[in-house]
Amino acid sequence: MTTTDESALPGLLKQMIEDIKDPQCGYWLYSNYFDVLPPTERTLTRWWQAPLYIDYDALWNPVFEDNAIQIDVILKNKLPAEHERIRIEYAQIWSLKRFHHQEKPKSADDWILYNDSSKLKMPHTGNED
């Protein structure tokens, strides 16, 4: 069942936290942007249009706020792995997809839990009039 009701996101994200305890389950979270929180060595701390693959080994320490979620994730492709804290506003999430490696969906739409493409916004480039 797909929803476009943003108020459903906290519940869906809490369900995601439970679902990924199963190593066969994973999610794709699509947002316009998320913010990398301090402390960080990054000079650019807002990541635009970077889908997050979330499974049992990719997310730690979730904290739910009224309008956002904070989680620790691995963003750098290096070893040893380094966790970074990010914050994703619910208003910026435009799609959430769940899959299970042992389940075969009837269609790609069977994976979609939340989708509101009207919320999809490309980053401001500074070249617009």
- Looking at domain 6-116, which CATH architecture does it have? Roll (2.30)
- How many CB atoms sit inside 10 A of residue 22's CB? 13
Which pTM value belongs to this model?
0.88
Query: Which pLDDT score, from 0 to 100, does residue 78 have?
Result: 87
Helix or strand run (H / E) with residue 12: helix 9-19
Backbone angles phi, psi at 34, to 5 degrees: -140, 160
pLDDT in tens, 42-54: 999 999 999 999 9
Query: Which pLDDT score, from 0 to 100, does residue 70 have?
Result: 98
Query: Which pLDDT score, from 0 to 100, does residue 33 have?
Result: 96
- Angstrom distance (rounded) from CA 96 to CA 113: 6
| pLDDT tens digit at each of 129 positions of the chain | 577 788 999 999 999 999 999 999 999 999 999 999 999 999 999 999 999 999 998 899 999 999 999 999 999 888 898 899 999 999 999 999 998 888 776 676 778 999 999 999 887 665 544
- 33-36 and 83-89 as β-strands: parallel, antiparallel, unpaired? antiparallel
- Angstrom distance (rounded) from CA 58 to CA 75: 9
Query: Which pLDDT score, from 0 to 100, does residue 128 have?
Result: 46
